[in-house]
Structure formats: structure tokens, C-alpha cells
Amino acid sequence: MICLETQYFNLNRILLLAIGLWPYKQSNFTRLQFILLSTILTTSLIFQCTPFISHKCTSDFIVKILSTASFFALFVIKYNMFSVNIKAVKDLLEQLQLICNELKDKNEFAIINEYGCSARRCTAALTICGICSLFAFFVAQFWSSILDKILSINVSESHHLPIPMEYFIDQEKYSYWILLHFNVSFCIGATAMVGIGATLIAYSQHTCGMFKIASYRIKDAMSNNMLQNINLENKFLIYEGLILAVDIHRQAMKLSELLVYKIEKMLFCLIIIGVVCLSLNLFLIFQIASYGDDIKEILFPFVFVTVCILYMFIANYIAQDLTDHNNDHFATVYDVQWHEAPLHIQKMILFMLQKGAKDFTVGVSGLFVGSLECFATLVKTSVSYFTVIYSTQ
């Protein structure tokens, strides 16, 4: 008996519980927790946009504001995307658990365990990356103070926000509270990005495991031992094996498509804003490096660019992995010794080959098809927009 929550989603559960988004624990306290954290995250984004009201909007100023605000917009969209669809995510995880409960063969348990361990490693790796990003984020804020302490430079202490923000209060007087609000919102957003992303990766990895099990069932049903001794019992076992293979393959495709369907609109927004964020921060890095501005200011856009590229790559790699596993299943059906089977079994195999001839892809709004090629296209588009912005300066 496999328990996904305790065996493979344990770290995901901890991360999502911390921000009130674990689907199985939705109490009144959790809802209050979500409202509080969502308010902190959303108001941080709002206060990053309010300088447009109180300052003169030059092109450089707009780029500087939007480069950070677009990154925090990714946090807000990601956080609310999961909360709005939390019941759907719970239903999908329960369906995945039911499928795992139906596994009987020890080899099938071994396959799902392999992919579950892979999901657990991915979650741990993403968590480490998230911690490193937080560390870099905090170092970037206090870099000047750290250098002054190391070099023993005596300067009058002044409190400056790491990015332009307007709270319409005395920001020098309340600087510690403003910094606290800003840093807490970043921690919430980073935890949401890691926790939600890792959960979707774990879900996809188990779906890939289902594709692998479907291939295993095909091989097992069409093994040489079965085909060399065709009798009534073996025919029944072949039929049963093929039916079970088709069933779990169909469920794997259904679960993949349902997940994307539920969050399709939010994913579309994430892609668009992610490209904008990457373009603006690339421009900011190039501008700082070219014009000899304070090199410390490059740390924030560098962190944002790194996170955007990493997230784009992982999302498209997972979609590519699903497509590859489906193609592997099709190749398995093609490679078995189906020509040695009785005619009626050959017809079933030919039907499966016809079904597999159509590519299975994970797409968003019919415009973006998740793949490594799509990742390259998004990065290329971001660089193109960066070039356009730079050419207008």
C-alpha cells in the first residue's frame, strides 16, 4: 500500500502548510492564514507600483519599477492560482492515490517508488535553490552595510529601501517596519513558488510513472512465454494485460490534461509576465554594467533573471518529460512481438498504434506547447524584447 502524502509529498506538505495551501488541511485557521499572507503579498506589489503616482515617470524609472514589480506579480499569480484551484488539486491528488492503490505487481510498485523518489529529490533540490535565493536576496539588501562593517567605514546610518516603493508615510521613521513587510512578502512568495512548483513536479513525476507502468504492462502481456504457448488462459491474460495497460495510459493522459486545464489561464499569465520580467531585468543588468552604476544594484536583477530562467526551464522540461514518456510507450507497443500474436490481438495492438501516432503534448491556450523548444523560444523572445527596449534608449 502506497501513501503518497507521507512517502513522497512530505516536504511538499510542510512547505504548503507554511503558507496555508495544503489541499488536505483547509480549516478556518488555514483560510485566515491564507487571507493574511495573501494580503501581505498583494500589498507589497501595490506599494511597488505606487511610485508611479508620486514620482516623475521617466523611461529608466519605469523599467526599474516594473523589473521588480513584475517579479512580485509572479508571486501573487502563483499563490492565488493554487488557492483558487485548491479543491481541483485535491481531487487530482486523490485520483492519483486511487490509481496507486490499484497497483498489485511488485514491479509496478518499484516503478512508482522510483518516480516518487525522483519527485522527492526534485522537491529537496528546489527547496535548496529557494533557500539560496533568499540568502542572495538578503545579502543584496544589506551588502553596503556588510562592506562598511568589514572595511570599518564610519558612515551615518540611513535606511534605504532595496527597491523604489511608496508607502505615503515617513519611510525613514518606519523603515524597519517597511523592510519587514517587504522581506516577509518575498519569503511568502518564494515559499509559494517552491512549494507549488515542487508539488506540480511531484504530480507530473507520478504521472510519468503511470506511463512507465503502462509500458511495463504491455511488455508483460506480450512476453515470449505468453506468445509461444497460445491457449485460452494465456489469451485471457494477454487481453487483461492489454486492457490494464490501456486503462492506466488513458488515466495518465487524463490527469495531465486535467491539471493543465484547471490552471490554464493562470499559466498563460505567468508565461507572459515571466517573459516581461526576464526582458526588463536583462535590460537593467546590461544598463548597470554598461554605464558603471553602483555594481551592488545588479544583485537584485541577477537573482530575478536566474529564478525566471530556472523556472521556465523546469516547467518546460517537465512537460517535455511527459511527452517523452508517452512516446516511449508508443515505441514499446511498436517493439513487442505483436506479429506473432493471434489476429484479434494484432488488431488490438494496431488500434493502440493508431492511438499513439498522435502526439501527446501539454499546452497552454493552444499557443504554448510545453517543451525544451518552447523554453528556447521564450528565452529568445525575452532577449528580443530586451534588445528592442535597449535600442529605444
pLDDT one digit per residue (tens) for the chain, 393 residues: 678 888 889 999 999 999 988 988 778 888 899 899 999 999 999 998 888 887 777 888 888 889 889 999 999 998 988 888 888 888 988 999 998 888 878 899 999 999 999 999 999 999 998 888 888 777 767 665 555 555 554 444 445 666 778 888 877 777 788 888 888 999 999 999 999 999 999 999 999 999 999 989 888 877 755 666 666 777 778 788 888 888 998 999 898 888 888 888 888 889 999 999 999 999 988 888 877 656 667 878 888 898 899 989 999 999 999 999 988 888 888 887 766 667 777 777 777 777 666 778 888 877 788 899 999 999 999 999 988 888 876
Whether 224 and 337 have beta carbons less than 8 Å apart is answered as yes
How far apart CA 279 and CA 73 sit, in angstroms, is 15
Separation of CA 286 from chain center? 28
Question: Cα dihedral angle (44, 312, 310, 138), rounded to 10 degrees?
Answer: 0
- Among residues 276, 120, 296, which one has the least CA distance to residue 198? 120
74: closest CA among 298, 308, 309?
Answer: 308
Strand-pair category, 363-364 with 368-369? antiparallel
Contacts of 97 (CB under 8 A, 6+ apart): 2, 3, 4, 5
Q: What is the DSSP string of 243-274?
A: HHHHHHHHHHHHHHHHHHHHTHHHHHHHHHHH
Establish how many alpha carbons lie within 13 A of residue 298's alpha carbon, considering only the half-sphere containing its beta carbon. Answer: 13
- Whether the CB-CB separation of 382 and 282 falls below 8 Å is answered with yes
Question: pTM surpassing 0.85?
Answer: yes
Total number of residues shown for the chain = 393
Q: How many CA atoms lie within 13 A of 314 on its CB side?
A: 23
Closest CA to 198 of 386, 9, 361, 391: 9
Burial 218-231 (b: 16+ CB within 10 A, else e): bebbbeeebbeeee
- DSSP-H helix ranges across 142-170: 143-151
Q: List CB contacts of 313: < 8 A, sequence separation 6 or more.
A: 375
Are the C-beta atoms of residues 207 and 194 closer than 8 Å to each other?
no
* Residue 213, amino acid: I
Q: Do 337 and 303 form a contact (C-beta atoms < 8 A)?
A: no
From CA 98, how far away is CA 271, in angstroms rounded? 32
3-state SS assignment for residue 368 = strand
